[in-house]
Amino acid sequence: MAILQAFSLSLIAAFATGLGGAIAVFLGRPNVRSYDWLLGFAAGVMTAIATLGLINEAMTRGGSLVSMLGVAFGAIVLFLFDRFLPHEHLTMHYAVSRPPVISRRQGLMIFTAMTIHNIPEGFSMGTGYLADPNLGMILIIAIALHNIPEGIAVAVSFRASGKPDRQCLTWAFVSGLVEPVAALVGAVFVTLVRPLLPFSLAFAGGAMLYVVSDELVPESHAHGNEHEATAGFIIGFLLLLGLMRVIG
C-alpha cells in the first residue's frame, strides 16, 4: 500500500512540470529577472529538503559515515550522468532574454537534461515516503515547486526550435513522467532492502545537492540578477523550513 501511495503522490510533482510548460505556452517567456528568481527559489527549496530532510533523516537512521558515503555516491553518479550522457545544461538566457530559433537537437538535449535530473528526484520521493510519509509529502511538495521552472525551460526551448504549442506542452509534461517511475523503483528498492534506506536517503540528497550547485545556482547568477536569485533562494529555503515545521 505504501509503495502505491508513493507512486500516486509522486504524480503531483510530475504534473508540476507540465504546469511549468503551460505557463510558458500560455503566458509566454518569463523575463530574465523573474526566471532567475524562480531558479534561485528552486535551489533554496532543493537545498532545504536535501539537507534538513533527506540527509538529516539518513544521519538519524544510519549515522554520519553511511550518510557521508551516500551523499558522495549520489553526487558522483550525477557527475557521471552529467559527464557521459549527451545533454545540454539549463542555459535559458538565449531563450528568455531574446527569441532566436534554436535547433530541435538543442531542445531535445535540454529535455534530456531535465529527465536526467528528475531520476534522483523521483527516487528520493519513493525512498522518503517509505522512510516517513510526512517526509515524503514534504519532498513531493518541494520537488513540485522545483519542477515548475524546469517545465518552463523545456517548453520555451522547444518553442524556440519552432515547435507548436501543443508539442511544447507535451514535451514539458513528458519530461516529468520519469519521476513517478523512479519513485516506484525507490519505494520497491527500500522495501526489498530495508537496511539500505539510510544510504538511499543520503544518496538522493547528494544527487540533489549536485544539481543545485552544478545547474541551478550558476544559471540563476549568469545574467546579472544575483540579488534576485539569492532572494529567491532564501525565500525557497525558508518556505521549506516552515513547511517541515508544519507537516513534520
Distance between CA atoms of residues 193 and 215, nearest Å: 32
In the prediction, which pLDDT does 89 show?
57
Nine-digit cell at 57?
533523516
In the prediction, which pLDDT does 93 show?
42
82-116 core/surface letters (b: 16 or more CB in 10 A; e: else)? beeeebbebbbeebbeeeeebeeebbbbbbebbbb
The answer to pTM > 0.75 is: yes
Q: Is residue 166 part of a domain?
A: yes
Q: Is residue 147 part of a domain?
A: yes
Q: Which residue segment(s) compose the domain that 214 sits in?
A: 2-27+37-247
In the prediction, which pLDDT does 97 show?
43
Distance between CA atoms of residues 58 and 49, nearest Å: 12
In the prediction, which pLDDT does 206 show?
95
Residues 6 or more apart whose Cβ sits within 8 Å of residue 214: 78, 79, 82
In the prediction, which pLDDT does 86 show?
59
Q: Provide the 8-state DSSP code for 109.
A: H
pLDDT tens-digit profile, the chain (248 residues): 788 888 888 999 889 998 988 988 887 777 888 888 988 999 999 999 999 999 999 999 999 999 999 999 999 998 988 787 755 555 554 444 444 455 566 666 777 777 777 888 888 999 999 889 998 899 999 999 988 888 887 887 777 767 788 888 888 888 888 899 999 998 998 888 888 999 999 999 999 999 899 888 998 898 889 999 999 999 999 999 999 888 86
In the prediction, which pLDDT does 96 show?
45
In the prediction, which pLDDT does 105 show?
64
In the prediction, which pLDDT does 183 show?
92
Q: Is residue 32 part of a domain?
A: no
In the prediction, which pLDDT does 24 show?
84
Distance between CA atoms of residues 204 and 186, nearest Å: 10
In the prediction, which pLDDT does 98 show?
46
Residues 6 or more apart whose Cβ sits within 8 Å of residue 8: none
Distance between CA atoms of residues 50 and 207, nearest Å: 9
In the prediction, which pLDDT does 94 show?
42
Number of folded domains that form the chain: 1
